[in-house]
Structure 1
Amino acid sequence: MTLFERIQKVSREHAMSLRELNEKAGLGTNAIYRWKKTKPSADKLQAVADVLHVSVDYLLGNTDNPSPKSSNTPPDLADDNLFMYQGKPIPEEDMETLRYILDSYRKKKGKNHE
């Protein structure tokens, strides 16, 4: 899958047209379409990755993990990787519930290993 195809796929998952993505990333008109034949600059590619909430490595096809966080992220910060479900942002109220559940699980797991 090419860079353009991957961007197009992720954009669709977010129910966003490439035109909207261009605008949200602060790119020029049809910039992403030009990436079919040219390579984007790192800062423009990062802007697109930020809007889509994925890593640049994912867009480039270097990984199948779309998460913008590295795998070396400490467990207490890894909760922030849960901000999407089926391509849509999770509401903050639900994030609080998820964090509570994860914290409870970690505490229970920690007691079992002592």
Structure 2
Amino acid sequence: MALFDNVKKFAKLRGMNLQEVAIKSGLSKNTLYKWKDYKPSDPYILAVAKTLGVTYEELTGTAKETTPTKIDLGAALDDSDDVIMTFDGKPIPDEDKELIKRLLRGK
């Protein structure tokens, strides 16, 4: 769905027309109609998103790409003297840590 269509959809859900959204966002009243043909710069999109109470991603129909954090559990377990391991907020006993190490190593 295009940016303009999303702005229209969210404006309608909030009980506003496009001119009201534009004015509340600090834009001229007919600015949003121009968004049919081009993508405005991010500060304008963010201002409209704030007015409509949505995120930039919701308004533009894009998703943020996130890179999962990689953790080397083996290295963390080998350096367990410096690592405090907890489960449900309670420290894991040393004998359980040894069991976890064996399971992670497949032994």
The question of a shared fold, defined as TM-score above 0.5 by the shorter chain, is answered with yes
Shift of 1:34: 0.2
User: Which amino acid in the other structure matches residue 12 of structure 1?
Assistant: K
For 2:39 and 2:60, the matched residues in 1 are separated by 11
What's the counterpart of residue 28 of structure 1? 28
**Please, what TM-score do these two structures have when normalized by structure 2?**
0.57
What secondary structure, in the 3-state scheme, does the structure 2 residue paired with 1:46 have? Answer: helix
Shift of 1:29: 2.8
User: Which amino acid in the other structure matches residue 22 of structure 1?
Assistant: A
Deviations 1:75-96 (A, max 9, x none): xxxxxxxxxxxxxxxxxxxxxx
What's the counterpart of residue 11 of structure 2? 11
Count of aligned pairs: 65
User: Which amino acid in the other structure matches residue 3 of structure 1?
Assistant: L
Identity, % of aligned positions = 37
User: Which amino acid in the other structure matches residue 43 of structure 2?
Assistant: D
Q: Which has the larger radius of gyration?
A: 2
Shift of 1:58: 0.7
For 2:3 and 2:51, the matched residues in 1 are separated by 15
What residue ranges of structure 2 are gaps of 5+ in the alignment?
Answer: 65-87, 89-107
CA RMSD of aligned residues (A): 1.6
For 1:37 and 1:56, the matched residues in 2 are separated by 19
Deviations 1:41-96 (A, max 9, x none): 11110000000110011111114xxxxxx9xxxxxxxxxxxxxxxxxxxxxxxxxx
What's the counterpart of residue 49 of structure 1? 49
**Please, what TM-score do these two structures have when normalized by structure 1?**
0.53
Give the structure with the higher percent helix. 1
